[in-house]
Amino acid sequence: MIYLIDDKKIRQEKDYKWTDDRFESFKSLIKPIYTLDDLQENTTDIFQTGNVILYHESFLDSTDIANEASDRRRRLDNFAKNTNSYLVLFSGSKNTRNLDGNIANLPVSVLYSNLETFIQKAKEGDINLKFLLFGENPLVIKELNDKIDAALLNMINEKACKVGNANFFIEPAEKNINDPLTGCVLQTIFSDTDNEFTTKINEWLNEMIYDNIFIPLCFGNTLLDYNGLRLACHIRCSPSKNQTTRIFIYGVVGADYLIHNEYFNILKTKNTSLISFSKKAIGESALIPKEHFSKEELPGELAKLKLDVPQNYYDNHAIANEWGIYQMARNANINIKNLDGFDIEKINSLYFKWLIAKNKLNEPIPEEQQKQQREYLVKIEGPKFIGKIELPKTKR
Amino acid sequence: MPKDKYDFIQELLENKKLSPSQRERVLLLVKEEIRKEGLISKSLADRLAIIEELVNVKDISEENNQDLPKYFDSLHLYKYLVDYNQNPILKSTCHEIDSNELENILEYCETTEYDFEKHLGKILDAFREHDKKPAPPKVKALIRGYLTGKNFRGNPIKGWSTDKISHNWSSPELLQWSLNNQGVPPNIDKGLMINLRKKGYQLRKPFITENGSGIYSFSNLVLYFKCLFHIRSDNSLKNIIRNFNRASGWEAQIDFEISDSTFPNNIEIFTDVDKFLQAYKVIIELVLEKPNDKRVKPVVRLSLKENEDSVEFSIFHVGSVYGKTIDNTTVRLGNKYRGLIKNQINGLCKFYVQADFESGESYRVGIWDQPDLWIKIKPITAITLDKQVGGVEHIFVIVKPNM
């Protein structure tokens, strides 16, 4: 059993999205403890061999026994050492993750980011604190983190390159390059969801045309997702003033690390390159002469991508249904956003955007077709979305 | 005994050029002289003992130790730092600010949105109050510099800590940033940052600390500051010492023996890490100054032990011999130790030497562990050890409140 001893419930819910409902879905595996009373009530259960204790280091600081906090932590430590149990100490004042036998120390953000992976692994009988420290693939994530840290240290005193053209630079929320390129427009990406990407592309890339867009390879919930590849796909598939602008994805690993990534093929398309995580590489890339890349070439380039049907669709029929609705609405010159009952967020998913872009459905309907639509529109009642046929879960 | 003989003895004993051992020798001769003349009586013997004691005290206070500081109990330092770390307001200067902490700040600042200026005002008020507690001036200066960028006279300083860091809570750049980033704590936690879609304060000029950490943001700075006074498993003394040895180039000159069983990672200490390392450096320099066979590196065994009310850090120079007699050790404080006490040890920790002396006996001597030592009294805590030490061991004892 995993015991999560953390008094900071607001942080848990607001900052890290670990709500009561989310804990409830794992209730056979994890039990959160919020108060000293709770802790004392469950002491016997908690201190059992084989348990995992996730302990907020300042848990006792605001209780009546604050002066015993240090001693209690030491006793927890001894318990973990002397029994076959696991102890994880986390705090908002830790900035490193380390593992010493069956005792780990880590920042609070790392704990909550990787908690679900850890629980899932524990469910499969694989209790390994490395999943909590680094997530799904601990070795590679540790390697990525170390490489990023080393690269940042290396360029700490390096000056930004001065280039004369228009550059748009996207940085991750943490472990970003300070002052990467003189005169660039700098924005931070805080989330790795399709919706966030769509919103930010609309917000950032519709004002002016840039010469280059720089994207971090690793950001978001796990560095291993190489979300920069997906963001580049989004930019190519989203109608904007910069849909064909040259993209540089800066990262600490080469293409050999990315080859199995679903979005890898974006690197095979025109005007998209992977470059090193360094100011020098960024500066030099910005000055490479550009290759012509027109919107007409885009569908052909996007056809090189091989995207999987999103996991929230249970089969190809489901996606065909949505796709059919979208096309019907388009052909009828009806704004899909005005259709009641159609989940507009689906249009923001990369898969949908990709289908639309590679099939040139972003382009306006030819004038002749529009003329015919206007003629027919007066004769027929407009289509209405009346619902979908859902198969029972057992048949999916 | 004729009167002129007494006068002569008196003059001799008052002569400041006599070393303690020479003075002891004179007293022994006087005793012998009196015994020969058959004049010894109980009262005279008592008076002689008093003279003897007075002469020794005179030696300690006059010759040796005029410039020693007043003894400062190191327990004050521990309490000062623990209280800082747990202070409801000041703790926000040594942790990242998450949603929970943000709520606390809004409550005591009586606002609905984070306001850096109000928060800073509360921090400085809380520090002024906290700073009334006793602590060594250096640690007070460290925290004052970190929070205000000023010294105790209120004059701006170039930087705080041995890294001479100019960024601090009262920097004009930070204030300017806060005006452009209303509602955002400068040392924001990652979760809150994603929640608010706002970054904390990024340093215009990132830098590398003496221990090799890159400091890019104010959050990095806050966590680094905490590492300067809170030793614990993720900032263990073992790692700090290892990094320091490496950075100082000592690993090539000394064989350090550091074992996990005698130097655990999980011992928690609140101390002035900078000062602690400076004191450690003085002891290592003593090891390197010892004449030895250049073909063989000296061996230094480091260990850490936790007791009920203290933590003992031992620097054991294996196979070395202490260069002074036990008498000399308890009477005369060498220049190195005097400097160490004045500049680092006083107020930081108690300080002991444990060694095999030339007489063949082994002692533990409290060099700096009680008030009035060396000024009015000799190290009376010198104790004979049951077994040989096997070298020279310097021990720093960090005193903790007894829980």
3-state secondary structure of A216: strand
> Mean per-residue pLDDT for A204-219?
96
pLDDT band at A290 (very low <50, low <70, confident <90, very high): confident
What's the pLDDT score for residue A61?
83
| DSSP annotation string for A46-73 | HSSTT-EEEEETTTTTTSTTGGGHHHHH
pLDDT band at A73 (very low <50, low <70, confident <90, very high): confident
What phi and psi values does residue B252 have, to the nearest 5 degrees?
-80, -20
What's the pLDDT score for residue B54?
46
Looking at per-residue pLDDT, the higher value among B291 and B182 belongs to B182
Angle between helices A227-237 and A194-204 in degrees, nearest 10: 50
CA separation for the pair A309, A325 (Å, rounded): 17
Residues B118 and B222 in one domain: yes
Residues B251 and B216 in one domain: no
pTM for this prediction: 0.83
State yes or no: pLDDT of A95 exceeds 90.
no
Q: Which secondary-structure segment (H or E) carries B272?
A: none
Residues B369 and B238 in one domain: yes
What's the pLDDT score for residue A384?
63
Interface residues of B toward A, Cβ cutoff 8 Å, are 86, 91, 94-101, 103, 189-195, 197, 199, 202-203, 206-208, 212, 214, 216, 219-220, 222-223, 226, 230, 232-234, 265-268, 306, 401, 403
Looking at per-residue pLDDT, the higher value among B36 and A6 belongs to A6
Residue of B86, B98, B103 lying closest to A92 (CB–CB): B98
Contact between B231 and A33 (Cβ < 8 Å):
no
- Domain A153-302, CATH: 3.40.50
Degrees, nearest 5: CA angle A199-A205-A207: 115
Encoding tokens for residue A173? 């929320």
CA separation for the pair B347, B69 (Å, rounded): 10
Q: Pick from A39-48, B78-87, B290-299 the range whose average pLDDT is largest.
A: B78-87
Q: Which of A157, A149, A140 has its CA nearest to residue A176? A: A149
Residues B259 and B157 in one domain: no
Do the domain assignments include residue B70? Answer: no
- Extract the runs of DSSP E, i.e. beta strands, from chain A: 2-5, 30-33, 52-56, 86-91, 98-100, 103-107, 161-162, 167-172, 181-182, 185-189, 212-216, 246-251, 272-276
How far off is chain B from A293, nearest CA to CA, in Å?
33
Residues of B in contact with A92 (CB under 8 A): 95-98, 101, 189
B323-350 as b/e: b if 16+ CB within 10 A: eeebebbbbbbeeebbebbeebbbbbbb
**CB contact (8 A) between residue A92 and residue B101:** yes
Residues of B in contact with A191 (CB under 8 A): 194
Average predicted confidence (pLDDT) for chain A: 88
Residues B248 and B392 in one domain: yes
State yes or no: pLDDT of B272 exceeds 50.
yes
**CB contact (8 A) between residue A98 and residue B234:** yes
CA separation for the pair A89, A69 (Å, rounded): 13
Contact between B76 and B133 (Cβ < 8 Å):
yes
Q: How far is CA B369 from the centre of its chain?
A: 12
Residue of B197, B207, B401 lying closest to A156 (CB–CB): B207
> Mean per-residue pLDDT for A6-15?
93
CA separation for the pair B66, B43 (Å, rounded): 33
CA separation for the pair A81, A43 (Å, rounded): 17
Domain boundary among B207, B227, B247: B227
Which residue from B minimizes the CA distance to A71?
Answer: B403
CA separation for the pair A263, B284 (Å, rounded): 56
What phi and psi values does residue B377 have, to the nearest 5 degrees?
-130, 160
Encoding tokens for residue A243? 């849909």
What's the pLDDT score for residue B72?
95
Residue % of chain B over a pLDDT of 70: 82
What are A249's strand-pairing partners?
Answer: A215, A274
Report the residue of B92, B97, B100 to disrupt the A interface, i.e. the one with the largest count of A CBs within 10 Å: B100
Half-sphere exposure of B386 (CA within 13 A, CB side): 0
Owner of token pair 């004993």: B13
Residues B25 and B131 in one domain: no
CA separation for the pair A63, B298 (Å, rounded): 49
Residues B119 and B28 in one domain: no
Query: Helix H segments across B149-254?
Result: 172-180, 190-196, 218-227, 237-248
**CB contact (8 A) between residue A153 and residue B214:** yes
Neighbours of B380 (CB within 10 A): 11
Asked if A11 has any chain B CB less than 8 Å from its own CB, the reply is: yes
Residue of A66, A98, A109 lying closest to B191 (CB–CB): A109
Contact between A155 and A225 (Cβ < 8 Å):
no
CA separation for the pair A14, B100 (Å, rounded): 9
State yes or no: pLDDT of B19 exceeds 80.
no
What phi and psi values does residue B43 have, to the nearest 5 degrees?
-65, -40
Residues B171 and B93 in one domain: yes
Q: Which residues between 293 and 312 in chain A have a beta carbon less than 8 angstroms from any beta carbon of chain B?
A: none
Residues B239 and B331 in one domain: yes
Residues of A in contact with B226 (CB under 8 A): 93
Average predicted confidence (pLDDT) for chain B: 87
> Mean per-residue pLDDT for B223-229?
96
> Mean per-residue pLDDT for B318-343?
87
**CB contact (8 A) between residue A93 and residue B230:** yes
Between A145-159, A330-344, B89-103, the lowest mean confidence (pLDDT) is in A330-344
Half-sphere exposure of A301 (CA within 13 A, CB side): 19
- Non-local CB neighbours of B185 within 8 Å, separated by 6+ positions: B92, B97, B102, B105, B114, B116, B119, B192, B200
State yes or no: pLDDT of B49 exceeds 60.
no
Domains A2-133 and A153-302 share a fold: yes
What's the pLDDT score for residue B57?
45
Q: Which secondary-structure segment (H or E) carries A44?
A: helix A43-46
What's the pLDDT score for residue A335?
74
CA separation for the pair A26, A110 (Å, rounded): 19
**CB contact (8 A) between residue B99 and residue A10:** yes
**CB contact (8 A) between residue B189 and residue A15:** yes
Residue of B86, B99, B208 lying closest to A15 (CB–CB): B99
Degrees, nearest 5: CA angle A371-A373-A379: 120
Do the domain assignments include residue B84? Answer: yes
CA separation for the pair B27, B30 (Å, rounded): 5
Do the domain assignments include residue B248? Answer: yes
What are B270's strand-pairing partners?
Answer: B230
Domain boundary among B31, B64, B97: B64
User: What does the domain layout of chain A look like in residue ranges?
Assistant: 2-133, 153-302, 316-395
Which pLDDT tens digit goes with each residue over A176-210?
Answer: 999 999 999 999 999 999 999 999 999 999 999 99
State yes or no: pLDDT of B51 exceeds 60.
no
Asked if A93 has any chain B CB less than 8 Å from its own CB, the reply is: yes
Contact between A81 and A59 (Cβ < 8 Å):
no
Half-sphere exposure of B308 (CA within 13 A, CB side): 2
State yes or no: pLDDT of A325 exceeds 50.
yes
What are B65's strand-pairing partners?
Answer: none
Q: Which of B42, B178, B161, B15 has its CA nearest to residue B97? A: B178
Give the CA-trace dihedral at A135, A139, A145, A148, to 10 degrees.
-140
**CB contact (8 A) between residue B208 and residue A73:** no
Looking at per-residue pLDDT, the higher value among B359 and A159 belongs to A159
What's the pLDDT score for residue B147?
98
- Non-local CB neighbours of A42 within 8 Å, separated by 6+ positions: A3, A31, A33
- Non-local CB neighbours of B92 within 8 Å, separated by 6+ positions: B101, B104, B105, B119, B123, B185, B187
Residues of A in contact with B212 (CB under 8 A): 153
Residues B364 and B299 in one domain: yes
3-state secondary structure of B400: coil
Q: Which secondary-structure segment (H or E) carries A207?
A: none
Helix, strand, coil shares of chain A, percent, nearest 5, are: 45, 15, 40
Check residue B176 and give left, alpha or beta (phi > 0: left; psi -120 to 50: alpha): alpha
3-state secondary structure of B112: coil
Encoding tokens for residue A23? 């804990």
pLDDT band at B332 (very low <50, low <70, confident <90, very high): confident
State yes or no: pLDDT of B21 exceeds 80.
no
**CB contact (8 A) between residue B207 and residue A173:** no
Residues of B in contact with A100 (CB under 8 A): 233, 265-266
Residue of A14, A58, A103 lying closest to B195 (CB–CB): A14
- Domain A2-133, CATH: 3.40.50
What phi and psi values does residue A271 have, to the nearest 5 degrees?
65, 25
What's the pLDDT score for residue B58?
47
Residues of A in contact with B97 (CB under 8 A): 92
Residues B223 and B249 in one domain: no
How many domains does the structure of chain B reveal?
3
Report the residue of B195, B266, B271, B400 to disrupt the A interface, i.e. the one with the largest count of A CBs within 10 Å: B266
What's the pLDDT score for residue B25?
64
Domain holding B239: CATH number? 3.30.565.10
Report the residue of A65, A159, A174, A195 to disrupt the B interface, i.e. the one with the largest count of B CBs within 10 Å: A174
Residues B264 and B299 in one domain: yes
Domain carrying residue B211: 75-227
Residue of A98, A152, A191 lying closest to B194 (CB–CB): A191
Which pLDDT tens digit goes with each residue over A354-392?
Answer: 998 988 887 777 778 777 777 776 776 656 666 666 666
Residues of A in contact with B202 (CB under 8 A): 176, 178
Between A203-212, A335-344, B277-286, B383-392, the lowest mean confidence (pLDDT) is in A335-344
pLDDT band at B322 (very low <50, low <70, confident <90, very high): confident
CA separation for the pair A52, A83 (Å, rounded): 11
